[in-house]
Amino acid sequence: MKKITLLMALLTFGISNAQVTTGEVVFSAGYSAQLDIDDDGVTLTMIGPDNIWLGVGFGVTSMTNGGDVVTYDSTGFNDRRFTGVGATPPTDTQDWTLVSDDVSGGERTVVATRGLTGSDDTDYTFDPDDASIMLVWARSPSSLNFGAHGSNNRGSTVVGFNLGVDDALFAQNIKLFPNPASDIVNISFVHTSERAQVEIFSVLGQSIRSQELSANESIVDISDLEAGMYILQITSENGIASKRIIKE
């Protein structure tokens, strides 16, 4: 993930604490999150448009009463709880610490940390020994003010935990240039003879097309795309990575 900075311990796991990661979880085009968990706590990174609110819930598959959820909205990063489907989640005791809130090119990257347990009964307990986690997500269609998200701006998923090093290194070994671009994007792999597939997604989550990459440096033609932001999801036997590009 281009803008997610993994903790140094992720690259030196096993020296002290066990650390696992979900890797980048793409909820919809333009909105993704990542959880990094070790014996000391959890780090949540959320990346999305800078002009709308973003939310992630833990350990549930819907807005289940008593479920744990966090949001970034016009009032900042908030610790909340679900009180039922369709009900606006109220805030509860703030157990999260906002580490950073960076905006660049219309994209917001939020990083927050918390202990494995929270102070409320509804707080999810994270465990680095867990194999997977259920997540729900939502985003506003148009506003930073926390409110209704509509049926097309939410979802649920189950993601597995892994040690995370392979995908992180795989992403670091991919270079895109130029970016922004107007006609073509070059994808360069550090590893020789890298074979991969790239799929282009629009900001609405629509898959536009995919193509095979079969050389150390491959070209993706974006000349027919409308101006805006797109996500390139690159998959090979060495890992999965998502890169954001701007079409001029």
Query: 171 φ, ψ to 5°?
Result: -65, -40
Whether the Cβ atoms of residue 59 and residue 33 lie closer than 8 Å to each other: no
Quote the CA–CA distance of 208 and 230 in Å, as a whole number. Answer: 10
pLDDT band at 167 (very low <50, low <70, confident <90, very high): low
User: What are the extents of the domains in the chain?
Assistant: 8-160, 173-247
- Model confidence pLDDT, tens digit, residues 5-52: 332 233 333 333 457 888 889 999 899 999 989 888 899 999 999 999
pLDDT band at 58 (very low <50, low <70, confident <90, very high): very high
pLDDT at 160: 82
Average pLDDT over residues 128-148: 92
pLDDT at 204: 54
Q: Is the pLDDT of residue 165 over 80?
A: no
Q: For 103-112, 146-155, 171-180, which range has the lowest pLDDT when averaged over its residues?
A: 171-180
CATH architecture of 173-247: Sandwich (2.60)
Q: Is the pLDDT of residue 177 over 60?
A: yes
Strand partners, 55: 71, 138
Average pLDDT of the chain, as a whole number = 84
Average pLDDT over residues 218-228: 92
pLDDT at 98: 93
Strand partners, 137: 56, 155
Quote the CA–CA distance of 141 and 163 in Å, as a whole number. Answer: 34
Q: How far is CA 224 from CA 96, 127, 171, 203, in A?
A: 43, 46, 26, 16
SS3 labels along the chain: CCCCCCCHHHHHCCCCCCEEECCCEEEECCEEEEEEEECCEEEEEEEEECCCCEEEEECCCCCCCCCEEEEEECCEEEEEECCCCCCCCCECCCCCEEEEEEEECCEEEEEEEECCCCCCCCCCCCCCCCCEEEEEEEECCCCCCCCCCCCCCEEEEEEECECCHHHHHHHHCEEEECCCECCEEEEEECCCCCCEEEEEECCCCCEEEEEEECCCEEEEECCCCCCEEEEEEEEECCEEEEEEEEEC
Whether the Cβ atoms of residue 134 and residue 156 lie closer than 8 Å to each other: yes
Classify domain 8-160 at the CATH topology level.
Immunoglobulin-like (2.60.40)
pLDDT at 168: 60
Average pLDDT over residues 217-235: 86
Q: For 6-10, 68-72, 99-103, which range has the lowest pLDDT when averaged over its residues?
A: 6-10
Average pLDDT over residues 213-225: 83
pLDDT at 9: 30
Q: Which tokens belong to 72?
A: 């970034």
Q: Which tokens belong to 94?
A: 């703030």
Confirm whether 8-160 and 173-247 share one CATH topology: yes
Tokens 């014996």 found at: 39
pLDDT band at 133 (very low <50, low <70, confident <90, very high): very high
Q: Is the pLDDT of residue 57 over 90?
A: yes
Decide which of 92 and 130 is more confident. 92
